[in-house]
Homo-oligomer: A and B are copies of this chain.
């Protein structure tokens, strides 16, 4: 299947309300379309910062603003779109073969990622030119 930004959507996640705080649970293969094999989170990002992009060949991800806000720009080699994430109960599903740039971080933002596979350096496309070759070869 050709990778397309139109397959990457913001998903509304469950939110369990409580006087003493809200909980959002995420079950792999249930609330999101893949099993969770790896979790990572990005923090201590200076306000307004931008992080250089990359893409994945096979990895599926869900990106959540667990705290604060930031923008994610998705690029499938033909089309681009920018999504602002700023609520913990919304997550951006990113399918494989999509270049993503992160920008406009609020101070104190926490970017939480749930990923479909363990870390594999061979799955990364770190150069935009290699990314274009990869998606055009699909």
Selected contact of A22 from candidates B38, B42, B52, B108, CB within 8 Å = B42
Task: Tell me, yes or no, whether A83 is within 8 Å of chain B by CB.
Answer: no
Question: Are B40 and A23 in contact, with the CB atoms below 8 A?
Answer: yes
Question: Are B108 and A41 in contact, with the CB atoms below 8 A?
Answer: no
Question: Are B23 and A42 in contact, with the CB atoms below 8 A?
Answer: yes
Question: Are A50 and B88 in contact, with the CB atoms below 8 A?
Answer: no
Question: Are B38 and A25 in contact, with the CB atoms below 8 A?
Answer: yes
Residue ranges of A at the interface with B (Cβ–Cβ < 8 Å): 20-28, 30, 36-46, 49-52, 66-67, 88, 105, 108, 110, 112, 114, 118-119
Question: Are A41 and B118 in contact, with the CB atoms below 8 A?
Answer: no
Q: What residues on B are CB-neighbors of A45 within 8 Å?
A: 20-21
Closest beta carbon of chain B to A39's beta carbon, Å: 5
Question: Are B25 and A39 in contact, with the CB atoms below 8 A?
Answer: yes
Chain A binding surface, main DSSP class: strand
Can you report 9 A-B residue pairs in the complex whose CB atoms are below 8 A from each other?
A: A20-B45, A21-B51, A22-B44, A25-B119, A26-B38, A41-B66, A67-B67, A88-B110, A108-B108
Closest beta carbon of chain B to A21's beta carbon, Å: 3
Q: Closest B-chain residue to A67, C-beta based?
A: B67
Selected contact of A88 from candidates B36, B41, B46, CB within 8 Å = B41
Question: Are B27 and A43 in contact, with the CB atoms below 8 A?
Answer: no
